């Protein structure tokens, strides 16, 4: 999944770093990536499988980072396999 991102929106974006647990393979990382990127107001997502991190750049007028952990949990088939907490 990809989004066309307006450079002006990206310049105003805020960034949140998530610690993601439960990702065991590249497919898991892609599910987390897609789930976060589907959120309205999320502009870009980078997922690093080995350290279990996700960096989310978002428009704070459209989405709150408080919803990111739930989006990560929803990426799992059973909604309990993945979990995330906000680091920064």
For 25-56, the pLDDT digits (tens) are 899 999 999 999 999 999 999 999 999 999 99
pLDDT band at 7 (very low <50, low <70, confident <90, very high): confident
pTM for the full predicted model: 0.89
Helix H or strand E encompassing 26? helix 26-37
Are 15 and 68 in contact, with CB atoms under 8 Å apart? Answer: no
Q: Is the per-residue pLDDT at 79 higher than 70? A: no
Q: Is residue 64 part of a domain?
A: yes
What's the domain range around 29?
A: 7-86
Q: 59 vs 4, 17, 21, CA distance in Å?
A: 14, 14, 25
Q: Write down the mean pLDDT value for the chain.
A: 90
We report the CATH number of the domain holding residue 26 as 3.30.70.100
Q: Is residue 11 part of a domain?
A: yes
Percent of the chain with pLDDT over 70: 95
Give the count of domains, the chain. 1
Percent of the chain with pLDDT over 90: 62
Residue partners of 88: CB distance under 8 A and separation at least 6: 15, 16, 17
Q: Cα separation of 82 and 31, whole Å?
A: 10
């Amino acid at each position: 999944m990809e989004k066309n991102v307006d450079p002006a929106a990206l310049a105003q974006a805020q960034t949140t770093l998530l610690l993601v647990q439960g990702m065991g393979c590249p497919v898991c990382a892609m599910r987390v990536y897609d789930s976060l990127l589907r959120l309205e107001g999320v502009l870009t997502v980078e997922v690093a499988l080995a350290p279990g991190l996700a960096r989310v750049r978002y428009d704070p007028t459209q989405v709150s980072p408080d919803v990111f952990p739930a989006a990560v949990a929803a990426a799992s088939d059973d909604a309990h396999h993945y979990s995330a907490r906000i680091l920064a």
